[in-house]
Amino acid sequence: MTKEIRIGLLAIVATAMLIWGYKFLLGTNIFERSNTFYVEYGNVDNLQISSPVFVNGFNVGTVKEVYMKPEDLSRVVVVLDVDRKIKLPQNTIAELRNAGLMGGKMITLAYSGNCDTDCIKSGSTLNGKSLSFIESLVQPSEIDVYVESIKRGMGGVIDSLNQSLMDGDPENGLGKTIADLRIAVANLKSMTIQMNTLFTNSSDHLVGVLTNIEAVTGNIKENNEQIAGLLQNVNQVTSQLASARLDTTILKTNRALGSTNKAIVSLDETLEKADATFKELQTLLAQINSGKGTMGSLVKDQALYNNLTRASKNLDFLLQDFRLHPKRYVNVSVFGKKVKQYDVPEIDPAFPLDTTSH
Q: Among 116, 137, 158, identify where a domain stops.
A: 137
Q: Are residues 79 and 125 in the same domain?
A: yes
Helices 302-324 and 293-300: crossing angle in degrees, nearest 10, is 80
In a domain, 89, yes or no: yes
Helices 224-244 and 203-222: crossing angle in degrees, nearest 10, is 70
* pLDDT tens readout for residues 249-298: 777 777 878 888 888 888 888 888 888 888 888 888 887 777 777 777 77
In a domain, 349, yes or no: no
Q: Are residues 125 and 38 in the same domain?
A: yes
In a domain, 211, yes or no: no
Q: Among 75, 102, 137, identify where a domain stops.
A: 137
Q: Are residues 97 and 13 in the same domain?
A: no
pLDDT value for 248: 74
In a domain, 78, yes or no: yes
Q: Are residues 43 and 3 in the same domain?
A: no
Q: Are residues 109 and 52 in the same domain?
A: yes
pLDDT value for 78: 94
Q: Are residues 113 and 89 in the same domain?
A: yes
Q: What is the rounded CA–CA span in Å between residue 38 and residue 76? A: 10
Q: State which residues of the chain have pLDDT below 50.
A: 353-358
In a domain, 44, yes or no: yes
**Pairing of β 105-110 and β 52-55:** parallel
Q: Are residues 9 and 61 in the same domain?
A: no
44: which residues sit within 8 A by CB, 6+ positions away? 66, 76, 78, 96, 105
DSSP-assigned letter for residue 73: T
In a domain, 258, yes or no: no
SS3 content of the chain, % helix, strand, coil (to 5): 60, 15, 25
In a domain, 291, yes or no: no
Q: Are residues 47 and 131 in the same domain?
A: yes
Q: Are residues 26 and 38 in the same domain?
A: no
Q: How many domains does the chain have?
A: 2
Strand segments, DSSP code E, in the chain are 34-41, 52-55, 58-68, 76-83, 93-98, 105-110, 125-130
Q: Among 72, 105, 137, identify where a domain stops.
A: 137
- Cβ neighbours of 154 (radius 10 Å): 10
Q: Are residues 43 and 103 in the same domain?
A: yes
In a domain, 82, yes or no: yes
* pLDDT tens readout for residues 99-134: 877 778 899 999 988 887 888 988 899 999 888 776
Q: Are residues 27 and 92 in the same domain?
A: no
Instruction: Tell me the longest C-alpha to C-alpha distance in the chain.
Output: 161
Q: Which domain holds residue 70?
A: 34-137
Q: Are residues 27 and 39 in the same domain?
A: no
Q: What is the rounded CA–CA span in Å between residue 34 and residue 61? A: 9
Q: Which string of DSSP letters, residue by residue, matches 96-160?
A: EEE-STT--EEEEEE--S--SSSPPPTTPEEEEEE--HHHHHS-HHHHHHHHHHHHHHHHHHHHH
